Amino acid sequence: MHLARFPRVFLAHLPTPLERLDRLSAALGGPEIWIKRDDCTGMSTGGNKTRKLEFLMAEALAEGADMVMTQGATQSNHARQTAAFAAKLGLACQVLLEDRTGYQDPDYTQNGNVLLDHLHGATTELHPGGNDMVAAMTAAAEAERAKGRRVYVIPGGGSNPTGALGYVNCALELLAQVNDRGLVIDRLVTATGSSGTQAGLVAGMCALNAGIPVLGIGTRAPKEKQEQMVYDLACKTAEKLGCPGVVRREDVVADTGYVGAGYGLPREDTLEAIRMFAELEGILLDPVYSGKGAAGLIDWCRSGRFKQGERVVFLHTGGSVGLFAYKGALARG
Ligand SMILES: *Cc1c(COP(=O)(O)O)cnc(C)c1O
């Protein structure tokens, strides 16, 4: 596996730190918990989409694009990081934002990621929840091409085999860090949504024969659908890497028990996880992804599914800018 063979723009701050969470580990009384700080990837407050965009934006440049287009939820971290890359690389950027929560709060509709999309010079187009966003983006791209734009379309979350290479790179990076420090890792835990993060990690870990199981904590889809999405993309990513067949179906595991009422709607345990990380470790999570991922991590510790003597790494996928869109939910009552 030789990632340097794929075009890439080197804009992320890498390697991201790997840190031990002493106070959280002590509070939970179970495994030794470590955190991989992909909230510190650098582009416009960072997050997991930055690793994917290093490969996606290189492809856009190679194809001669002068505009990138993508889609996501109103408070999409992916849209914000795409807008920042486009600004840095001198490309126009349009993002289609879907209202998946129904929140009318001006903090939700205008603050957080939306504020930063606009600061980076992107144009945003709002769509009602449940719209066919793939069809909407195809139509929007055609309209721009009719005006003479050379549009590169990035799927939601940057989740295709090119974007997933960013998380193959993360698997390589993490493995080098733990090997250098003599740390045996029993499990890697990440929030999973559009699936590129978990798929890239699984493809990378399998290709490296690392023997480190990856647990995805769902943020939207039910278990069967989530695992199938991750598995399909992990297989395609392994093929792209030149090692088809290394991912087995049982390598893909998602626990979708922490989603609650739906995407972008935090539960009580999401808010508790955000407070625990903030108060015990000085680390900011987010209400849509990393807060739910951490709620899963905490519950797996408390219920004894992660045991004393084990070492667990939580991948912090970023998103803390979204906190400013959820002032109401986070205010202490
Ligand atoms: C997009 C996102 C995720 C989910 O990653 P996928 O690759 O879409 O599964 C997790 N955390 C944050 C903060 C995100 O923005």
Q: How confident is the model at residue 332 (pLDDT cuts 50, 70, 90)?
A: low
Query: How many helices (H) and strands (E) are present in the chain, helices listed first?
Result: 12, 10
Burial class (CB within 10 angstroms; exposed 0-12, middle 13-18, buried 19+) of 282: exposed
Atom number in ligand 1 closest to CA 159: 7
Q: How is 247-296 classified by DSSP, letter by letter?
A: --GGG-EEE-TT-TTSTT---HHHHHHHHHHHHHH-----TTTHHHHHHH
Strand partners, 276: none
Query: In this structure, which amino acid lies at residue 48?
Result: N
| Range 49-154: architecture per CATH | 3-Layer(aba) Sandwich (3.40)
Instruction: List pLDDT tens digits, range 119-144.
Output: 999 999 999 999 999 999 999 999 99
Domain ranges of the chain: 3-47+160-331, 49-154
**Residue 64 CA, ligand 1 centroid: distance in Å:** 27
* Residue 48 in contact with ligand 1 by CB distance below 6 A: yes
* Residue 216 in contact with ligand 1 by CB distance below 6 A: no
User: Which pTM value belongs to this model?
Assistant: 0.98
Residues 6+ positions from 198 with CB-CB distance below 8 Å: 167, 190, 192, 214, 216, 230, 234, 252, 254
Atom number in ligand 1 closest to CA 319: 13
For residue 333, is pLDDT > 70? no
Q: How confident is the model at residue 50 (pLDDT cuts 50, 70, 90)?
A: very high
* Residues 81, 83, 84, 85, CA torsion sign: positive
- Do the first three CATH levels of 3-47+160-331 and 49-154 match, i.e. the same topology? yes
For residue 33, is pLDDT > 70? yes
| CA proximity to 313, closest of 24, 3, 6 | 24
What residues act catalytically?
76
* Residues 57, 59, 61, 63, CA torsion sign: negative
* Residue 162 in contact with ligand 1 by CB distance below 6 A: no
pLDDT score at 12: 98
**Residue 240 CA, ligand 1 centroid: distance in Å:** 21
Task: State which of 37, 49, 98 you would mutate to test the pocket of ligand 1, scoring each by most atoms of that ligand within 8 A of its C-beta.
Answer: 49
Q: Which CATH class name applies to 3-47+160-331?
A: alpha beta
* Residue 318 in contact with ligand 1 by CB distance below 6 A: yes
Judge contact between 114 and 105, C-beta under 8 A.
no
* Residue 55 in contact with ligand 1 by CB distance below 6 A: no
Judge contact between 208 and 170, C-beta under 8 A.
no
pLDDT score at 322: 97
